[in-house]
Amino acid sequence: MIDVDLEALLQEYEQIHVFTHVRPDGDAIGSSLAWGKALEQMGKKVRLFCPDDIPIKYSSFIPDINISSVYSPPENTPTLAFALDCSDLERLDYMKEDVLRLDKLFNIDHHGTNVKFGDYNLVDPSAAATGEIIYRLIEDLQIELTTEMSLYLYIALASDTGSFKYENTTPQTMYIAGKLLEKGVSPSFVSLKIFDEISFSSFSLLRDCLQSLKMDKTGRIAWMSADEGMLARYRVASSELEGYINYAKNIIGVEVGVFFYHTLSGETRVGFRSKNVDVSSVAFSLGGGGHLRAAGCSVAGKPEEVEEMVIQKVSQLISG
């Protein structure tokens, strides 16, 4: 439910900036691109931003991705900001403070752990992806849904549903996907690009990450790790780590897969994936968030101590 008349709000602003989260996935990218095109149809001056570069798996096949990783707030120009697919402001990384200086902030998201940080909030945990919410907004505002926008939204939905195989896939999700296919989107092409193709350098990094694979004594928790040195060796961006965690989670008997990315700053980015338990509760307790089966957080400390502490928390979750 929207706590403001969106159409009236949009009429107040000519300039709009759209932001999405650090380490962008297909939902973040697709939702931003689609919403940007929708706003341009309304005659708005729109710019798109993300704290990180776009992963090559998306930039290699999506034409003209105009999402900038550099931001400085405008001076003396009223600006409306949209934050897409962000459960909290920390997901905007270094852009957070500048975003807060803008006139109004509209938060659109589907994470159940969203803290509703915006001046206006549209948070729907029943949506499979933020792209699903953007589709409904485009429909409600009677904006023409182009083939280009349909591709972006299909990428958003396919990404966050694991190509429509995760339990967050609903009849509404499939209905929207069908409408997007009617616009000419090729599901086989999107699936190939998002889930099947991988660069040789990323594959080489994955090989090294798999050598770090460990499992607890119960066989229900498996985890892997990487560090900045490994990424530098293969010239791979951290955004390309997306999906590696599934190799741990998909092992027979494993309930929770965990991925640790240790940075030179002393911070470890932790990803969680589960088959049945609520891993967002662990992520939230460590200052992060996400979904029931897919969540993440960042933890400061020595790598080995962070790993031990996190695995202990996951063990308590499973045994509890």
**pLDDT higher than 90, residue 63:** no
Q: Nearest Cα to 295, choosing from 283, 306, 286?
A: 283
% of the chain with per-residue pLDDT over 90 = 87
Predicted pLDDT at 242: 85
DSSP secondary structure letters along 286-302: TT-EE-SSEEEEEEES-
Mean pLDDT of 41-51: 97
**pLDDT higher than 90, residue 262:** yes
For residues 111 and 115, give the distance between their C-alpha atoms in angstroms, rounded to a whole number.
Answer: 9
For residues 153 and 137, give the distance between their C-alpha atoms in angstroms, rounded to a whole number.
Answer: 12
**pLDDT higher than 80, residue 4:** no
Q: What is the pLDDT of residues 274-301, one digit of tens each?
A: 999 999 999 999 998 888 899 999 999 9
Cβ of 223: how many Cβ atoms within 10 Å?
25
End-to-end Cα spacing for the chain: 34
Predicted pLDDT at 96: 95
Q: What is the pLDDT of residues 199-210, one digit of tens each?
A: 899 999 999 999
Cβ of 114: how many Cβ atoms within 10 Å?
21
Predicted pLDDT at 313: 98
Q: What is the pLDDT of residues 73-119, one digit of tens each?
A: 898 899 999 999 999 999 999 999 999 999 999 999 999 889 999 99
Predicted pLDDT at 280: 92
SS3 28: helix
Query: Which of the four pLDDT bands, split at 50, 70 and 90, describes residue 41?
Result: very high
Q: What is the pLDDT of residues 124-178, one digit of tens each?
A: 999 999 999 999 999 999 999 999 999 999 999 999 999 999 999 999 999 999 9
The two counts, helices (H) then strands (E), for the chain are 13, 12
For residues 126 and 112, give the distance between their C-alpha atoms in angstroms, rounded to a whole number.
Answer: 8
- Give me the chain's average pLDDT, please: 95
Mean pLDDT of 182-210: 95
Range list of β-strands (E), the chain: 15-20, 45-49, 67-68, 79-84, 104-109, 120-123, 214-215, 221-227, 256-262, 267-274, 289-290, 294-300
Predicted pLDDT at 237: 86
Predicted pLDDT at 51: 94
Predicted pLDDT at 304: 97
Predicted pLDDT at 56: 87
Tell me the CATH class for 200-319. Answer: alpha beta
Predicted pLDDT at 64: 84
Backbone angles phi, psi at 29, to 5 degrees: -70, -50
Please give the biggest Cα pair distance in the chain.
60
Query: Which of the four pLDDT bands, split at 50, 70 and 90, describes residue 49?
Result: very high
For residues 214 and 227, give the distance between their C-alpha atoms in angstroms, rounded to a whole number.
Answer: 16
For residues 161 and 294, give the distance between their C-alpha atoms in angstroms, rounded to a whole number.
Answer: 11
Cβ of 41: how many Cβ atoms within 10 Å?
16
**pLDDT higher than 70, residue 1:** no
For residues 10 and 299, give the distance between their C-alpha atoms in angstroms, rounded to a whole number.
Answer: 38
Q: Please say whether the beta carbons of 99 and 83 come within 8 A.
A: yes
Per-domain residue ranges of the chain: 6-195, 200-319
**pLDDT higher than 80, residue 2:** no
Angle at 308 between CA 306 and CA 314, to 5 degrees: 100
C-alpha distance from residue 212 to each of 139, 222, 227, 258 (Å): 47, 10, 11, 12
In the numeric block, which tokens belong to residue 24? 């962008």
Mean pLDDT of 215-243: 94
**pLDDT higher than 90, residue 312:** yes
Q: 270-299 burial, b for 16+ CB within 10 Å, e for fewer?
A: bbbbbeebbbbbbbbebebbbbbbbbbbbb
Cβ of 25: how many Cβ atoms within 10 Å?
24
The kind and range of the H/E element at 250 are none
Q: Kindly indicate whether the domain formed by 6-195 is annotated with CATH number 3.90.1640.10.
A: yes
Residue 106 corresponds to which amino acid?
F
Q: Please say whether the beta carbons of 176 and 153 come within 8 A.
A: yes
Predicted pLDDT at 239: 81
SS3 163: coil
C-alpha distance from residue 10 to each of 22, 81, 179 (Å): 26, 11, 26
